[in-house]
Amino acid sequence: MKGRGATGQAMKRIGIALGGGGVRGLAHVLVLEVFDQLGLRPALITGTSVGAIVGAAYASGVPAAEMRTLCLRHIVTRNDRLGDVIGKRAHLRIWLNAFGLETGRGGLLSPERMFGYLFKGLPVSTFEQLHIPLRVIAADYWAAREVVFASGELLPALRASCAFPGVFAPAVVDGRVLVDGGMVNNVPYDHLRDACDLVIAVDVAGTRQAERQSVPGFIDSIVGAFNIMQEAEMARRLSRAPPDIYVHPRIRNTRVFDFTRIEEVFEQAAPAVARFRQELERAL
């Protein structure tokens, strides 16, 4: 959004790309808190997988601080007392039940209950109703190409963008079989360049740290190989056309679907977010 600063100069149109990364993607909430604290509003948000979910919630008008509170309400933190845990029990039970097993083909978990719960209170249902324009990235399984959602129903687009292969079943939207957008564009900052003056990319890909060179298990092997592919592609893109600001929180040894470690994600992401705030203030 263009405006006028104290000097009379036009404010830069800021675009932010929120990458995929499972529970690590909740670090996006801290990055968006910086916008709220500085009184800024992105002109455009692009998102893949969990980045699309966080981006959709923020673009619908949910403040980042409220999202942080909601995240911590669904886990037992180290500072919680017995009374706090008892007060959270309804949220803990609902969140546990949200991860139902998939009885059909294509994935281990059913996304229907999870998405139904996540977006039950969302004040919008379409892209057109969002307060901030949003583009959501998914991958066409059979055509092996990127699919960009920017209009129409919001939930099918988010469902498709998060369809991590083998974990969630592919989504079928308008006759196309779609899977997780991280397969083709995990941090979609390239979609910001034409519309924004300042491009920010937030990469929440995990940082692996070997423990005695241990051999990873079945799920960790699949997810880890997926991450290696994403890291190689990201390095190539950064070398050719980097964003104006690149944010990469060093979140170590956090499994992609381990939502009990939200508090650790916030703690590990904090230093990178502090550096981001300084870079953003300098850029503006």
Q: How do residues 197-226 score in pLDDT, each as one tens digit?
A: 999 999 998 666 665 567 877 767 777 788
pLDDT at 244: 98
Query: Residues 161-176: what's their mean pLDDT?
Result: 90
pLDDT at 229: 87
Closest CA to 94 of 80, 66, 73, 67: 73
- Mean pLDDT over each residue of the chain, to the nearest integer: 84
Q: Do residues 247 and 203 make contact, with C-beta atoms less than 8 angstroms apart?
A: yes
pLDDT at 236: 95
Query: Residues 231-253: what's their mean pLDDT?
Result: 94
**Sorting pLDDT into bands at 50, 70 and 90, what band is 278?**
very high
**Sorting pLDDT into bands at 50, 70 and 90, what band is 22?**
confident
Closest CA to 114 of 173, 53, 61: 53
CA distances from 176 to 13, 44, 155 (A): 33, 26, 16
Count of all residues that appear for the chain in the document: 284
CA dist 238 and 236 (Å) reads: 6
pLDDT at 11: 75
Between strands 171-173 and 176-180, the pairing is antiparallel
**Sorting pLDDT into bands at 50, 70 and 90, what band is 84?**
very low
Least confident range from 29-33, 87-91, 149-153, 276-280: namely 87-91
pLDDT at 151: 98
pTM value is: 0.86
**Sorting pLDDT into bands at 50, 70 and 90, what band is 18?**
very high
Least confident range from 1-5, 70-74, 102-106, 153-157: namely 1-5
Query: Residues 33-46: what's their mean pLDDT?
Result: 98
pLDDT at 116 over 90: no
Q: Tell me the three state secondary structure of residue 103.
A: coil
Least confident range from 140-149, 214-223, 270-279: namely 214-223
Higher pLDDT, 148 or 96: 148
Least confident range from 34-48, 199-213, 227-241: namely 199-213
Query: Residues 261-266: what's their mean pLDDT?
Result: 88
pLDDT at 168: 83
CA distances from 95 to 25, 45, 72 (A): 17, 27, 12
Query: Residues 42-59: what's their mean pLDDT?
Result: 96
